[in-house]
Amino acid sequence: MGSLFSGAGLGDLGLHRAGLKHRWFCECDPYARKILAARWPGVPILEDVRDVSAETAHPVDVLAGGFPCQDVSSAGKRRGVKEGTRSGLWFEYLRIIREIRPRYVIVENVKALLSNGMSTVLQGLAESGYDAEWDVFPAAAFGAPHLRERVVIVAYPHGLRQPGAGPILEADAHLAKCGRPDGPSDWNGLRLEGPRAQAALSAHPGPVLRRVDDGGPYWVDRLRCLGNGIVPDLMEHVGRLVLAAETCRAANP
């Protein structure tokens, strides 16, 4: 697999656990690149997504990554997925898909993408010859004491999957087991009502980092990486679904 907008590799850690092997990463942040180099020694790390192409990156079966959410997120300026914005780097992602032609594409972003740019993403994939499916995965469904919902899109070339094959993300047993609430509700027996919900705080026995008043400025880079990342267990789950689908497809060409 190849990884775009890799950050500190939190999502990549999950995909690695699922059984995917990294051929290369792409990340612009120097601190995050140090973490990637330490965790995956010897794997090339490209620095600028605009420099990734069929000539500069090895061909891969799976291309994964979450393009910047700043212009999509409800906490941002809501400019959407447009040229010239940070979230507009999606078009570089799309260019790389068209050049490398991976068998599977895994895209993740904040839930707000559904109402602020999803049609642009799906249109680009369709025009590139890729079918797509998507679902919303909350971190709470994978044991985290917070909701942190993420949209995950899985795309593949039109015609790759047999007409009778169900969607890769269809009837997800893990989410069905945990329930499918929308908004504040119970996840794995934990009532989640907001970032300061007492239930969430009591479920997390570790230290609470307060960013500027904890006396540890060296945490800033780490906090930024965590804030930009995705829960590894979530992406491990998605990776296993993709690998299971590919195994089934290969056994029934």
Residue with tokens 């910047």: 68
Vertex 8, ends 50 and 236: CA angle to 5°?
100
Length of the chain: 253
Of 84, 57, 49, the residue nearest 70 (C-alpha): 84
Cα torsion at 55, 86, 108, 106 (round to 10°)? -20
Pick the catalytic residue from 26, 69, 178, 225: 69
Answer whether 97's CB lies under 8 Å from 63's CB. Answer: yes
Cα(97)–Cα(157) distance, integer angstroms: 10
Answer whether 26's CB lies under 8 Å from 52's CB. Answer: yes
Of 81, 72, 79, the residue nearest 112 (C-alpha): 72
Residue with tokens 């993408």: 113
Long-range contacts of 39-43 (CB under 8 A, 24+ apart): 39/9, 39/13, 40/9, 40/12, 40/16
* Pair of tokens at residue 10: 């939190």
* Pair of tokens at residue 125: 């994939």
26 is catalytic: no
Cα(1)–Cα(40) distance, integer angstroms: 13
Active site residues: 69
